[in-house]
Amino acid sequence: MDAWGRFRRNRLALLGLALVAVLATSAVLAPWLSPHDPARQSLIEKRAKPGGKYVLGADEFGRDILSRVIYGSRVALLVGLLSAAIAVAGGLVLGTLAGFAGGWLDAVVMRAIEILLAFPYLLLALAIVAVLGPGALNTTIAVGIWGVPAVTRIVRGAVLTLRETEYVGAARALGAPAVALLRRHILPNIVPGLIVYATLFMANAILLEAALSFLGLGVQPPTASWGLMVSTGRDVLLVAPHVATVPGLAIMVAVLAFNLVGDGLRDALDPRLRGSG
Amino acid sequence: MRSLPARIVGGVLVLGLVASLVGAATAQKRGGTLTIVRPTDPVSLDPNLETTAPGAWVYFNMLEGLLTLDDKMQVKPALATSYEVLSPTKVRFKLRPNVKFHDGTPFNAEAVKFTFDRALKGSPPARWASLAGSLDRAEVVDGLTVDVVTKEPYGPILRTLAMYCMGIVSPTAVQKLGQDFSRAPVGTGPFKFVEWKTNTHVIIERFNDYWGDKALVDRVIFKVVPEEGARMIALQTGDADMVLIPSPAQLPALRKDPKFTVHETTGIRVVFAGFHAGMAPLDDVRVRQALLHAVDRKAILDNIMEGSAGPALGVLAPGVFGYKDMQLDKVYPFDRARAKALLAQAGWTPGPDGILVKGGQRLSLSWLAARGRYPKDGEITEAIQAMFKEVGVEAKVQVLEWGAVFQQVRGNPLNHHMFTLGWVTSNADADYSLYALFHSKQVPPAGWNTSRYANARVDTLVEQARRSLNQTEREKLYGEVQDILAKEMVWIPVYTTKEIVVSRTGVKGFHVHPVEYNLALWKTWLDR
Amino acid sequence: MLTFVVRRLLLAVPVLLGVVFVVMLTIDLLPGDAVTLMLGEHATPDAVARLRDHLGLDKPFLVRYLDYVGRVARGDLGRSIQQNRPVGTELADAWPATLQLTVAALLIATGVGIAAGVASAVWPNSLFDALARLGSLFGLSMPIFWTGLVLIVVFALWLNWLPVGGAGSLSHLVLPAVTLALPSVAMVARMTRSAVLEVLREDYVRTARAKGVAERWVLGRHALRNAFIPILTLLGLQSGQLMGGAVLTETVFAWPGLGRLMVKAIFARDYVLLQGAVLLFALAFVVINLLVDLSYGLLDPRVGRQG
């Protein structure tokens, strides 16, 4: 059975895929799916409870939460996917370099990683915004860079272990070039774990973007981002919990979707599952 | 059996007894610990180093100045019992006798001179030295008489001396503690310092040798609880007796709840959306006036501030000396039609996407704001942005972190059309605001004329008013300034703050002061 | 092994120097500076210049950097710009609180996370797996202030079992530690599941099974030991995140730790205080990384010692 076949049989993974499709549709078809203009304010209807005119309620400006959640999927997908991609790409490169090459290269990369890890995240974000300006894309880059050290360490750890396994050792002894080794033996073993990490990282990424947008470093008003909606709903959490909770649940659904797909991919791609259940 | 008259007398006596018992039950009780929660820890308790509320709330109860401002905004004697104007630049104060500092040393003219020297000529000088205008020094005349000297005639002198940060410090303590004085100040106030655990709490306790009415509670603990929701919960559970900076959204419910008392009064801070009057298209007064008409200030007060702030009727707050009601709601009522008409008059016509255009240029304004520096600053900016859109004006809002906003707003040139700021008239005298905000030479970084407003008549008026010691004349001059400003409007004043404190009903005797820094706790007592 | 440890600690020095350099440079780059922000509305050019001079902040970057490094080498972390208090004292005030919270959260995250992850791997795609996944994802996706405030409402307001905030006793530690640990529980659980699943399918595990060795023996000895490497890496990372990312938790629960201190320092551009805190964190990271790398060697002797 091939990878796609295994994936197809996994019901949870299919559910995840369906949810991702809903998300993507939301993002693309936002203008047609939203019942109201997400930026239209109606102060008198502030914090309207869910039901009636505003299906999921209204925020502190009387804007329709459902419409803002639909539009917010754009920022969520951008932030979630792009930052995860940056973190994974950067981490893969640095991690394999460090783990495989060893020696002084490993030492240098690891020290740089340690510097980045100790560097306060807020400062990193402020610096990137100071240089590139505010906006969703730039905060996404900041979040992505922040994720690189973690992925590097995970990849390096895995590479170190796999490097010493018998069959890599054997392949090396037979004179296989490094690149081939990486491609055929090492990377396929790392990728599943990475996928799982990346899908979880997305939740973190969206929440980090929330904190940054709240500080004014991310999306600018009146753009809707789930993270920003959650942050601004904080003040009224005890009075009108739906304002923060609904976008929070949207974050959860998106993360769940990618997580299910990720786990499904992991299970499907695991080379050792061939021949087993 | 007793006769009827006897029974009546008996009845009256019983009633009298009962009445007196009831009276005694509501008489002030001494003792107890008052727990107050607020969002941040002070940076310092030394008025020279800290002029913001977290520190002021605490040291206001420990240090006293020569004069003070009562909650009707009148100047009253504190450590000075009387004053006499000797010349336009010299005022003589007679000091209160038999006053001791917390460390037992006596309060006298030497201490006043020491405090002033330390603040004005110290290295570095007090943070507030720049707002003390022409205050120069204090001269000792005798043990209980001191002369305060200014470099030039200075109209606001009394109110400046009544400011919360003008507390007299104990010279002995300053010399003994050195830099540690900023963590444990010694003054003459009704409370003295006990302990400060950084980022956790500050504790002060009653000073039993205070010269006036002794404080009623034994101790006050100021706790730090940064999260607004958590502060309100602490009030509910009784972990806190009093909350400073409560959650506006919860106020309507709290006002109706018999377990809590909401103390509120109009404050002296105005939060506004300012225009860069030097940058087109805002250099056209018709555009500015149109924008004023486009904002529904009442909707903002009702729905965003939710009663936690009052209307801004001018550029100053009522209660500030020299305040004039600029009648903004009558002169610039919320009227979209009028706004559109004014913009049309100024030559702007609707473009293809609804935004106005003129000569190929879109009416697009760039707007700088922070979030959380002033109550709901980010929210009112977003609300007004939407209101502008309704009349065809596009506002590109950049919400940045305060440090970045501050840098730009303090800088020159300013590359934005609009900015959201607040301004508090710290000494409750119009000079402090009208001079710094509207004098043409006070453009940043020299002063705070962020709007780049320039009017020669206003310049003359504020200069004259600053130098006059005749308070009636000063009031008239400031009135004229505000009349001129009302026609040229370089701000959209959005709201005047309200000082709001919520306490549990067991906390009695507390009165909130219009000046946010004047948190007076010595008349407060606990009924538990 | 000793040479390895010593060598790594020596290698920490360039890391520390590097971090200080980058932090100082970044703060200089950011708009706004400590003095004007401190003076606020009293920031006349005169006052600003005088205060800068007084604090020595008007010297050029390299001079300040070398000055700082020299002082740190002598054990002096300087005085914070905002409060003019010795940085060492300010850090000493906040460090124990951070340590307590981090350790408590790490214990919860590790204990609950690994247990849930292992169970999920042993019964993949079961109801338990699904519930565990959902639950941990909830903890990961809902922002910390949300979970924090909800926990406060339930346990402090409704049930009155625990205090609202602040520090002091064990009961004060419970809610913040749980709130902080929740997102990590999800991470640890999922990664553990993934790692254990992989290992369960390793050849040598199948061989051991084929030989008839008891299931638990198989699981314990082989699976966990090798699954531990990625889990350990993750734990090392999580402890870093928990340390540095506790700001929100500290804010919601009024916990007087380093997180809030650092954020305040960043907003006030108080680089002296910030650097002191960052040095502390950097040192902590170096030690954690060292421990993680040492344990790679212990758990899987084939890996040998690297770096």
Each residue's pLDDT tens digit, C212-249: 666 656 556 666 666 777 777 777 777 777 776 688 88
User: Which residues in chain C have their CB less than 8 angstroms from residue A267's CB?
Assistant: 197
- pLDDT of B1 > 70? The answer is no
| Spatial contact of A210 and A225, defined as CB atoms under 8 Å apart | yes
How near does any CA of chain A get to the CA of C113, in Å?
14
Question: Collapsing DSSP states into helix, strand and coil, what is residue B55?
Answer: helix
Q: Which residues numbered 2-31 in A keep a CB inside 8 Å of some CB on C?
A: 10, 12
For residue C54, the chain B residue with the least C-alpha distance is B124
Residues with Cβ within 8 Å of B196's Cβ and at least 6 positions away in sequence, in order, are: B45, B183, B184, B202, B203
Question: Collapsing DSSP states into helix, strand and coil, what is residue C111?
Answer: helix
**% pLDDT > 90, chain A:** 26
pLDDT of residue A1: 60
Place of tokens 């900041």: A142
More confident residue, A200 or B271: B271
How far is residue C46's CA from residue C52's CA, in Å, rounded to a whole number? 10
Q: In this complex, is the C-beta atom of B127 within 8 Å of any C-beta atom belonging to chain C?
A: yes
In sign, the C-alpha dihedral spanning A239, A240, A243, A249 is positive
How far is residue A197's CA from residue C287's CA, in Å, rounded to a whole number? 24
Look at A234 and C130 and tell me if their CB atoms are within 8 Å: no
Look at C146 and A122 and tell me if their CB atoms are within 8 Å: no
How far is residue B406's CA from residue C14's CA, in Å, rounded to a whole number? 35
For residue C19, the chain A residue with the least C-alpha distance is A115
Look at C42 and B198 and tell me if their CB atoms are within 8 Å: no
- pLDDT band (50, 70, 90) for residue A276: very low
User: Which residues in chain A have their CB less than 8 angstroms from residue C302's CB?
Assistant: 161, 164-165
Query: Residues in chain B, how many?
Result: 528
How far is residue B37's CA from residue B366's CA, in Å, rounded to a whole number? 38
**% pLDDT > 70, chain C:** 88
Q: In this complex, is the C-beta atom of C157 within 8 Å of any C-beta atom belonging to chain A?
A: no
Question: Collapsing DSSP states into helix, strand and coil, what is residue B141?
Answer: strand
Which uninterrupted H or E stretch holds B470?
none
Residue type (1 letter), A204? N
Residue C39 backbone phi and psi in degrees, to 5: -75, -25
Q: Which residue among C37, C42, C251 sits closest to B406, beta carbon to beta carbon?
A: C37
pLDDT of residue C189: 86
Query: pLDDT tens for residues B65-94?
Result: 999 999 899 999 999 999 999 999 999 999
For residue A244, the chain C residue with the least C-alpha distance is C146
- Give ∠ CA C9-C11-C13 in degrees, rounded to 5: 85
How near does any CA of chain A get to the CA of C72, in Å?
17
pLDDT of residue C45: 84
Task: State the ipTM, two decimals.
Answer: 0.83
Place of tokens 């993949």: C124
From the list B399, B408, B359, the residue with the least C-alpha distance to B376 is: B399
- pLDDT band (50, 70, 90) for residue C306: very low
How far is residue A130's CA from residue C31's CA, in Å, rounded to a whole number? 7
Beta bridge partners of B142: B145
pLDDT of residue A266: 75
For residue A206, the chain C residue with the least C-alpha distance is C141
How far is residue C249's CA from residue C140's CA, in Å, rounded to a whole number? 14
Look at C142 and A157 and tell me if their CB atoms are within 8 Å: no
How far is residue C23's CA from residue C269's CA, in Å, rounded to a whole number? 11
DSSP classification of residue C57: T
Q: Which residue among A60, A216, A238 sits closest to B379, beta carbon to beta carbon?
A: A60
pLDDT of residue B508: 93
Q: In this complex, is the C-beta atom of A118 within 8 Å of any C-beta atom belonging to chain C?
A: yes
How near does any CA of chain B get to the CA of A102, in Å?
42
Q: In this complex, is the C-beta atom of B382 within 8 Å of any C-beta atom belonging to chain A?
A: yes
Q: Which residues numbered 414-473 in B keep a CB inside 8 Å of some CB on C?
A: 423, 426, 445-448
Place of tokens 């981090």: C102
Look at C201 and A276 and tell me if their CB atoms are within 8 Å: yes
For residue B232, the chain C residue with the least C-alpha distance is C164
User: Which residues in chain A have their CB less than 8 angstroms from residue B379's CB?
Assistant: 60-61, 232
Question: Collapsing DSSP states into helix, strand and coil, what is residue B525?
Answer: strand
- pLDDT of A236 > 60? The answer is yes
pLDDT of residue C10: 86
Look at C85 and B183 and tell me if their CB atoms are within 8 Å: yes
Residues with Cβ within 8 Å of B415's Cβ and at least 6 positions away in sequence, in order, are: B366, B408
pLDDT of residue B471: 92
pLDDT of residue A202: 84
Question: Collapsing DSSP states into helix, strand and coil, what is residue A252?
Answer: helix
- Give ∠ CA B122-B128-B130 in degrees, rounded to 5: 90
Pair of tokens at residue C86:
């010795």
How far is residue A226's CA from residue A224's CA, in Å, rounded to a whole number? 7
Q: In this complex, is the C-beta atom of C194 within 8 Å of any C-beta atom belonging to chain A?
A: yes
Q: In this complex, is the C-beta atom of A245 within 8 Å of any C-beta atom belonging to chain C?
A: yes
Residue type (1 letter), B7? R
Query: pLDDT tens for residues C271-289?
Result: 999 999 988 888 888 888 7
For residue C148, the chain B residue with the least C-alpha distance is B230
Kindly state the average pLDDT of the residues B17-30: 58
For residue C295, the tally of other CB atoms under 10 A from its CB is 16
pLDDT of residue A275: 36
| Least confident stretch, A259-273, B134-148, B436-450, C76-90 | A259-273
DSSP classification of residue A48: P
Question: Collapsing DSSP states into helix, strand and coil, what is residue C212?
Answer: coil
For residue A5, the tally of other CB atoms under 10 A from its CB is 9
The neighbours of chain A, by the rule of 3 or more Cβ pairs under 8 Å, are B, C
Kindly state the average pLDDT of the residues B221-247: 92
For residue B409, the chain C residue with the least C-alpha distance is C32
| Spatial contact of B137 and B117, defined as CB atoms under 8 Å apart | yes
Q: In this complex, is the C-beta atom of B134 within 8 Å of any C-beta atom belonging to chain C?
A: no
- pLDDT of C209 > 80? The answer is no
Q: In this complex, is the C-beta atom of B98 within 8 Å of any C-beta atom belonging to chain C?
A: no
Q: In this complex, is the C-beta atom of C153 within 8 Å of any C-beta atom belonging to chain A?
A: yes
For residue C161, the chain B residue with the least C-alpha distance is B237
Q: Which residue among B229, B370, B386 sits closest to A237, beta carbon to beta carbon?
A: B229
Q: Which residue among A102, A118, A238 sits closest to C281, beta carbon to beta carbon?
A: A118
Q: In this complex, is the C-beta atom of C77 within 8 Å of any C-beta atom belonging to chain A?
A: no
Q: Which of B41, B130, B270, B423 to mutate to test the interface with C (most CBs of C within 10 A)?
A: B130
The reported pTM is 0.87
User: Which residues in chain A have their CB less than 8 angstroms from residue B397's CB?
Assistant: 220-222
How near does any CA of chain C get to the CA of A131, in Å?
9
Kindly state the average pLDDT of the residues A234-239: 86
| Least confident stretch, A66-75, B66-75, B466-475, C164-173 | C164-173
User: Which residues in chain B have their CB less than 8 angstroms from residue C90's CB?
Assistant: 198
- Cβ-based contacts under 8 A for chains A and B: 80
For residue A118, the chain C residue with the least C-alpha distance is C282
Q: In this complex, is the C-beta atom of B528 within 8 Å of any C-beta atom belonging to chain C?
A: no
Query: pLDDT tens for residues C14-29?
Result: 888 988 999 999 998 8
Q: In this complex, is the C-beta atom of A231 within 8 Å of any C-beta atom belonging to chain C?
A: yes
How near does any CA of chain B get to the CA of A66, in Å?
19
How far is residue B56's CA from residue B62's CA, in Å, rounded to a whole number? 10
Q: Which residues numbered 167-186 in C keep a CB inside 8 Å of some CB on A?
A: 183, 186
